[in-house]
């Protein structure tokens, strides 16, 4: 069940659940995966940036990925394997692929500046992990400080057949999607899947520009599934209405530094996680911020009943 360039829908970015003492919460992993499967997800990504992957030891990363894969059923699982060096990337890639992962996601190191450096890095990454492993190209300049133009993405896609998906997180990035789809239309680039991250802040119009879906960790992935489905069905206004209702919480959850705390808090309130704990170093939710999140949930519940079905 390897990842292909035809992937569509919603691949939620899974947080790593922890107990209050910092231990990995396996029961919450199972509950979270059952929720993802049940709400219409078409795949899942684990050990992404907001999965606190850098706080895990190799054995823990492998345990988390293995449990997600085992619980995912028929859903393809993409595992984030970004690392400072290729040895660690290769080791985790081999281990998770042996356990049934569909592919891996690779983010660029923040030292890359030129197009040749970017292409060269991904060429070496493929040499390290193997050309038979499908990979997702993560384009998130706001976090990684690496600017990937449509032209350099085309070079990577054309040179490296194992690149099957772009995780598009540029902002502003709507024109980039249009340009890439234009490359496909004129035959200068083969087709790849484009799933969008950045907490889905522009998902409504990204779908209209040619994106295939979402690959992000918003605490209401079921809403993302609905927006993608409505967009694919041509129900434009219904998709925008639902998206607009969630936009204030989306925006709040996407705050740098505080976003993961908000996301885990909401997932706990939804009964998916047993604890909102993060591993240290962490930025816990303040009481003032918690009350603001509760206010946002109450307002959202006026339009979407899912925001009102919460646990204490």
In a domain, 246, yes or no: no
Q: What's the predicted TM-score (pTM) here?
A: 0.97
Give how far Cα 32 sits from Cα of 19, 68, 124, 301, Å.
Answer: 14, 9, 35, 21
| CA nearest neighbour of 78 among 202, 197, 198 | 197
In a domain, 125, yes or no: yes
Count the alpha carbons within 13 Å of 284 in the hemisphere toward its beta carbon. Answer: 8
- Which CATH number do you get for residue 177? 3.20.20.70
Structural domain that includes position 178: 9-233
Print pLDDT tens along the chain (312 aa).
Answer: 899 999 999 999 999 999 999 999 999 999 999 999 999 999 999 999 889 999 999 999 999 999 999 999 999 999 999 999 999 999 999 999 999 999 999 999 999 999 999 999 999 999 999 999 999 999 999 999 999 999 999 999 999 999 999 999 999 999 999 999 999 999 999 999 999 999 999 999 999 999 999 999 999 999 999 999 999 999 999 999 999 999 999 999 999 989 999 999 999 999 999 999 999 999 899 999 999 999 999 999 999 999 999 999
Count the alpha carbons within 13 Å of 272 in the hemisphere toward its beta carbon. Answer: 25
In a domain, 29, yes or no: yes
Give the span between the Cα atoms of 47 and 105, in whole angstroms: 9
Give the span between the Cα atoms of 304 and 218, in whole angstroms: 15
What are the pLDDT digits (tens) for 96-146?
999 999 999 999 999 999 999 999 999 999 999 999 999 999 999 999 999
Burial grade of 237 (CB within 10 A; 0-12, 13-18, 19 or more)? exposed
Structural domain count, the chain? 1
Give the span between the Cα atoms of 40 and 36, in whole angstroms: 7
Tokens, residue 73: 């059923």
In a domain, 309, yes or no: no
């Amino acid at each position: 069940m390897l990842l292909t360039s035809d992937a569509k829908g919603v691949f939620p970015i899974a947080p790593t659940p922890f107990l209050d003492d910092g231990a990995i919460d396996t029961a919450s992993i199972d509950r979270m995966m059952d929720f993802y499967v049940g709400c219409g997800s078409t795949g899942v990504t684990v050990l992404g940036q907001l999965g606190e992957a850098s706080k895990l030891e190799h054995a823990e990363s492998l345990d988390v990925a293995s449990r997600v894969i085992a619980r995912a059923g028929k859903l393809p699982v993409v595992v984030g394997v970004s690392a400072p060096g290729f040895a660690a990337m290769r080791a985790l890639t081999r281990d998770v692929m042996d356990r049934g992962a569909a592919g891996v996601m690779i983010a660029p190191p923040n030292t890359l500046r030129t197009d040749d450096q970017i292409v060269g890095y991904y060429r070496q990454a493929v040499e390290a992990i193997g050309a038979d492993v499908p990979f997702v190209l993560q384009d998130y300049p706001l976090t990684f400080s690496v600017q990937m133009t449509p032209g350099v993405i085309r070079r990577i896609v054309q040179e490296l057949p194992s690149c099957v998906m772009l995780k598009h997180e540029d902002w502003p990035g709507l024109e980039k999607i249009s340009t890439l789809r234009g490359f496909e239309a004129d035959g200068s680039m083969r087709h790849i899947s484009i799933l969008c991250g950045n907490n889905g802040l522009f998902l409504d119009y990204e779908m209209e520009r040619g994106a295939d879906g979402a690959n992000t960790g918003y605490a209401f992935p079921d809403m993302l599934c609905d927006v993608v489905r409505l967009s694919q069905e041509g129900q434009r206004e219904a998709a925008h209405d639902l998206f607009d209702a969630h936009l204030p919480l989306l925006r709040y959850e996407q705050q740098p530094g505080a976003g993961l705390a908000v996301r885990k808090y909401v997932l706990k309130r939804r009964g998916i996680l047993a604890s909102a704990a993060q591993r240290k170093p962490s930025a816990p939710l303040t009481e003032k911020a918690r009350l603001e999140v509760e206010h946002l949930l109450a307002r959202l519940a006026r339009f979407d009943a899912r925001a009102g079905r919460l646990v204490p």
